[in-house]
Amino acid sequence: MTATIHDIAASRPHLMVVASDGVHVLPRELIQSVVEGKKSSAILTEPVVRRVIEEWLQLVSA
């Protein structure tokens, strides 16, 4: 298995998403851009999207 690794040090703050396909560290700005419709959600893997939704549901159901 290979992965593309990008230096995102300049893109802080970061979010860590532990998804079924591994651990992802994503700039918060990227997630915000998807939420606002500025970027397509297709930029995120399906397991990442599922995990974000799962965590959101846990927060709103608590």
- CA neighbor of 28 nearest in space, from 39, 15, 41: 15
Does residue 27 lie in a domain region?
yes
- Answer whether residue 53 is part of any domain: yes
| pLDDT tens digits along 1-41 | 677 787 877 778 989 999 999 999 899 999 999 999 999 99
Across 50-60, average pLDDT? 94
Residue 1, domain member (yes or no) = no
Whether residue 5 lies inside any domain: the answer is no
Per the structure, how many domains does the chain have?
A: 1
Note whether residue 9 is domain-resident: no
For residues 11 and 29, is the Cβ–Cβ distance under 8 A? yes
**Residue 31 parent element (H or E):** helix 28-35
Residue 4 domain-assigned? Answer: no
Question: Both tokens of residue 43?
Answer: 């930029």
d(CA 41, CA 30): 10
Q: What's the pLDDT score for residue 7?
A: 81
Give the residues across from 23 on adjacent strands: 18
Domain span holding position 45: 14-61
